[in-house]
């Protein structure tokens, strides 16, 4: 697909998702995120050969929330390698992302790095590797996006830190089982900062692009820092766990490895081709953006750039 075709498809997608923008809810448990204008939509598509197509609010910064779990995982894997998998699993949880009971039931084991429990363990690993882990992450992302304008939204950070009772409960439970090594406060502070990173769809797509490449590139563009097997693990986890307990449904509907966040962003990897990020704030009951999910689904069905190939019936649906 050339750049002109990609741009035309994105323009078509914006029109298609308009009726969806007012649907869904904003995440009330992070009060600051309820002040966002829900009618926004942006999308960026970037190819491995350097073409970029974008549309709508692709250059508006939004709260990346759980998409940070992907970036934290990549940085932790770069640092500690496969030892990470002795502390975090690679199985879908089948439960909401903020599940608490499963952690207790499974004696402090965490299912995968994309549910909050597993992400808190990854953050704990970063806290052991770096004096200021959120700054290491920030620097990595600025390099990966080739853009210095990425930052932590302090208002969102304070808002979540002040009301993160569930994550605090999960972190204490993990600590009681010896699953995190730093103090609960340190891990929660860092986790809330990484979730409050504000980025645009274009910046996120750029940072995820290395996962689509056959050769080893890190988010920051450094060659070989993530080994091929590690990248494969990350991409496989995106497909099986990246959209929480809706991942099975997304695999059947879209057929692409994706990672979502309650800020309304969803990023997708198209192996061997490129990356795609869509954003719109309204969320469904599993915490995934309704319009962004539909946009990626339309993109995949039109282009056939998906495990599922091109699908005429999806193209025709409203």
- Residues in touch with ligand GLN (CB under 6 A): 65-66, 97-98, 116, 160, 167, 195, 261-262, 287
Q: Tokens in use for 256?
A: 């692409």
For the CB of residue 37, give the shortest distance to ligand GLN in the complex, in Å.
Answer: 19
For the CB of residue 89, give the shortest distance to ligand GLN in the complex, in Å.
Answer: 18
Q: Tokens in use for 318?
A: 């409203």
Backbone angles phi, psi at 53, to 5 degrees: -120, 140
CA angle 225–142–32, rounded 5-degree value = 120
Cβ proximity of 289 and 243 under 8 Å? no
By beta-carbon proximity to ligand GLN, the closer residue of 269 and 305 is 269
By beta-carbon proximity to ligand GLN, the closer residue of 123 and 225 is 123
By beta-carbon proximity to ligand GLN, the closer residue of 92 and 274 is 92
For the CB of residue 75, give the shortest distance to ligand GLN in the complex, in Å.
Answer: 17
By beta-carbon proximity to ligand GLN, the closer residue of 137 and 217 is 137
Cβ proximity of 239 and 163 under 8 Å? no
What's the distance, CA 284 to chain centroid? 16
For the CB of residue 9, give the shortest distance to ligand GLN in the complex, in Å.
Answer: 27
For the CB of residue 170, give the shortest distance to ligand GLN in the complex, in Å.
Answer: 9
By beta-carbon proximity to ligand GLN, the closer residue of 245 and 297 is 245
The number of helices, as runs of H, and strands, as runs of E, in the chain is: 13, 8
Q: Tokens in use for 234?
A: 């990350």
CB within 8 A of 116, min separation 6: which ones? 97, 98, 99, 166, 167, 170
Residue nearest to ligand GLN (CB): 66
By beta-carbon proximity to ligand GLN, the closer residue of 123 and 275 is 123
By beta-carbon proximity to ligand GLN, the closer residue of 116 and 233 is 116
For the CB of residue 50, give the shortest distance to ligand GLN in the complex, in Å.
Answer: 30
What is the DSSP code (8-state) at residue 51? -
What is the DSSP code (8-state) at residue 157? H
By beta-carbon proximity to ligand GLN, the closer residue of 116 and 225 is 116
Q: Tokens in use for 160?
A: 């979540």
What helix, strand, coil percent values describe the chain, rounded to 5? 50, 10, 35
For the CB of residue 119, give the shortest distance to ligand GLN in the complex, in Å.
Answer: 7
Which CB contacts under 8 angstroms, 24+ apart, belong to 185-190? 186/127, 187/120, 187/123, 187/124, 187/127, 188/120, 188/161, 188/164, 189/161, 190/123, 190/126, 190/127, 190/133, 190/134
Taking phi over 0 as left and psi of -120 to 50 as alpha, with beta for the rest, 258 belongs to beta
For the CB of residue 244, give the shortest distance to ligand GLN in the complex, in Å.
Answer: 7
């Amino acid at each position: 697909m050339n750049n002109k075709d990609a741009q035309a498809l994105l323009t078509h997608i914006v029109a298609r998702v308009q009726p969806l923008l007012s649907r869904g809810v904003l995440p009330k448990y992070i009060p600051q995120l309820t002040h966002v204008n829900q009618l926004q939509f942006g999308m960026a598509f970037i190819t491995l050969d350097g073409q970029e197509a974008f549309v709508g609010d692709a250059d508006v910064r939004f709260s990346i929330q759980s998409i940070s779990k992907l970036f934290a995982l990549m940085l932790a894997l770069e640092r500690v390698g496969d030892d990470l998998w002795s502390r975090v699993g690679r199985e879908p949880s089948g439960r909401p992302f903020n599940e608490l009971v499963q952690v207790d039931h499974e004696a402090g084991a965490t299912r995968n790095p994309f549910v909050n429990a597993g992400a808190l363990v990854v953050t704990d690993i970063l806290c052991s590797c770096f004096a200021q882990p959120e700054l290491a992450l920030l620097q990595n992302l600025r390099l990966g996006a080739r853009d210095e304008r990425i930052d932590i939204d302090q208002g969102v950070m304070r808002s979540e830190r002040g009301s993160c009772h569930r994550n605090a409960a999960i972190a204490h439970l993990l600590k009681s089982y010896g699953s995190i090594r730093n103090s609960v406060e340190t891990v929660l502070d860092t986790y809330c900062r990484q979730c409050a990173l504000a980025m645009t769809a274009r910046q996120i797509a750029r940072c995820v692009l290395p996962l689509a490449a056959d050769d080893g590139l890190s988010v920051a563009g450094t060659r070989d820092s993530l080994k091929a097997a590690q990248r494969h693990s990350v991409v496989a986890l995106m497909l099986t766990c990246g959209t929480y307990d809706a991942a099975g449904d997304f695999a059947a509907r879209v057929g692409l490895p994706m990672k979502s966040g309650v800020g309304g962003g969803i990023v997708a990897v198209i192996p061997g081709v490129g990356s795609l990020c869509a954003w719109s704030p309204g969320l469904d009951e599993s915490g995934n953006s309704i319009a962004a999910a539909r946009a990626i689904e339309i993109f995949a069905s039109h282009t056939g750039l998906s495990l599922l190939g091109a699908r005429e019936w999806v193209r025709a649906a409203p």
